[in-house]
């Protein structure tokens, strides 16, 4: 599926026109720029784009290859941009991301992505900021980057809330759930690792736009790109801080588990000592020698009294030391 839009003289002109008309629209008026949005394009679709806009062959090759790293490649007449849109954390605790690729020329933007990417968010941003559409293609690129960064920011805030919930569960009384906490912690750390690999590098692409790698970025649109860069810096800092927080949760969980194990061992050892005293006393009175009270109730009373007294003394001592 393909969606097309065109702007002329700072206002929306046409939409949903055939890709064949792109070159005609651009040749007709120097103030016209277009956006071509492809969903799951095939080789034939990209060759069509190459014919209309003169995209470099190496950029087309990268566009057909999935799993590209986030980057901004510069060619003679165009740029090739790769970003990742974040769709939050699914029910299994996995971070969902979608690859978005774009050809950026002086008067055209061609975006390529899968069906799960919400490009309506980009259109809403563009429509809400139509007053700066006279900046042309950089305005379109800003709309794409701003939507990607906003989705990443929402996901980071969600991960932060999940980590806070983990920290609260660490000290939940009577329900330690060490394995569950450890599993959730590892999933969050994995999600942060994906953010660090697929979203944070976009900061370098935006910096390249700002610092002259893309010569078409005019002064009027630069503040918008700086805003995106600031948000990406914030996302990068948050990712690093949250990774440390998850590591702290894992370490604390292990320490608490070790402490609980030590407490259990102290209790088991204390009860074993208490039980050992009656065993020793009954063993002593069961020896085959004559002793006071042998064969009489007084001997039984003496042994039982000794068992109770020594057991109570040990219990009180262990209880005072908080071993029981």
SS (H, E, C) 246-294: HHHHHHHHHHHHHHHHHHHHHHHHHHHHHHHHHHHHHHHHCCCCCCCCC
- Residue of 172 and 153 predicted with greater confidence: 153
- Cα–Cα distance for residue pair 238/220, rounded to 1 Å: 29
Q: If pLDDT is split at 50, 70 and 90, which confidence band does 98 have?
A: very high
pLDDT of residue 212: 62
Last residue of a domain, one of 241, 257, 273: 257
Structure confidence by residue, pLDDT tens digits, 16-50 = 888 888 888 888 878 889 999 998 888 888 888 88
- Domain extent, residue 300, equals 263-320
CB half-sphere exposure, 195, CA atoms < 13 A: 35
> Do both 92 and 191 map to the same domain?
yes
pLDDT band at 61 (very low <50, low <70, confident <90, very high): confident
Average pLDDT, the chain: 82
Pair 233, 193 in one domain: yes
Residue 170 is predicted with a pLDDT of 75
Q: Are 66 and 23 in contact (CB under 8 A)?
A: no
Q: Work out the end-to-end distance of the chain between its first and last CA atoms, rounded to an integer number of angstroms.
A: 70
Is residue 69 located within the same domain as residue 217?
Answer: yes
Task: Give the pLDDT of residue 177.
Answer: 66
Do residue 212 and residue 299 come from a single domain? no
β-bridge mates for residue 105, sequence order: 78
pLDDT of residue 67: 86
Same domain membership, residue 293 and residue 229: no
HSE-up (13 A, CA, CB side) for residue 59: 28
Same domain as 189, residue 285: no
**What pTM was estimated for this model as a whole?**
0.76
pLDDT at 66: 87
Predicted pLDDT at 207? 87
Do 153 and 301 fall within a single domain?
A: no
User: Does 220 share its domain with 316?
Assistant: no
Total structural domains within the chain: 2
Q: Is the pLDDT assigned to residue 203 strictly greater than 60?
A: yes
pLDDT band at 197 (very low <50, low <70, confident <90, very high): very high
In whole angstroms, how far apart are CA 172 and each of 150, 199, 254? Answer: 34, 34, 15
What values do phi and psi take at 8, rounded to 5? Answer: -140, 130
Is 282 in the same domain as 171? no
The reply to whether 186 and 290 lie within a common domain is no
CATH of the domain at 78: 3.30.460.20
Of 211, 241, 257, the position where a domain reaches its end is 257
> Model confidence over 132-168: pLDDT tens digits?
888 888 999 999 999 999 999 999 999 999 988 888 8
Last residue of one domain, picked from the residues 208, 223, 257? 257
Residues 220 and 248 in one domain: yes
| 83 confidence band (pLDDT: 50, 70, 90) | very high
State the pLDDT at residue 223: 87
Residue 234 pLDDT level (bands cut at 50, 70, 90): very high
* Domain shared by 73 and 142, yes or no: yes
Residue 290 to residue 293: CA distance in whole angstroms: 9
């Amino acid at each position: 599926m393909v969606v097309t839009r065109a702007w002329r003289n700072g206002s929306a002109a046409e939409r949903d026109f055939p890709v064949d008309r792109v070159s005609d629209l651009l040749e007709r008026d120097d103030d016209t720029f277009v956006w071509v949005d492809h969903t799951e394009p095939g080789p034939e679709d990209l060759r069509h784009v190459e014919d209309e806009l003169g995209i470099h062959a190496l950029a087309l090759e990268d566009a057909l290859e999935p799993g590209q790293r986030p980057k901004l490649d510069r060619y003679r007449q165009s740029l090739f941009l790769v970003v990742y849109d974040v769709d939050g954390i699914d029910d299994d605790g996995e971070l969902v991301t979608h690859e978005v690729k774009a050809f950026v020329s002086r008067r055209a933007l061609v975006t390529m992505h899968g069906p799960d990417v919400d490009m309506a968010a980009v259109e809403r941003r563009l429509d809400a900021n139509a007053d700066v559409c006279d900046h042309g293609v950089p305005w379109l690129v800003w709309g794409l980057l701003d939507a990607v960064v906003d989705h990443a920011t929402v996901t980071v805030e969600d991960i932060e809330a999940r980590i806070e919930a983990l920290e609260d569960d660490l000290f939940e009384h009577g329900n330690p759930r060490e394995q569950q906490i450890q599993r959730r912690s590892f999933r969050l750390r994995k999600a942060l690792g994906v953010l660090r690999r697929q979203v944070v590098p976009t900061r370098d692409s935006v910096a390249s736009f700002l610092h002259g790698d893309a010569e078409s970025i005019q002064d009027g649109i630069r503040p918008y790109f700086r805003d995106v860069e600031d948000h990406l810096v914030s996302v990068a800092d948050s990712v690093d801080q949250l990774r440390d927080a998850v590591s702290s949760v894992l370490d604390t969980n292990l320490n608490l588990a070790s402490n609980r194990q030590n407490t259990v061992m102290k209790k088991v050892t204390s009860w074993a000592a208490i039980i050992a005293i009656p065993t020793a006393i009954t063993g002593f009175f069961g020896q085959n020698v004559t002793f006071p009270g042998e064969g009489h109730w007084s001997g039984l009373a003496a042994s039982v009294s000794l068992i109770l007294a020594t057991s109570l003394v040990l219990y009180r001592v262990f209880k005072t030391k908080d071993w029981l």
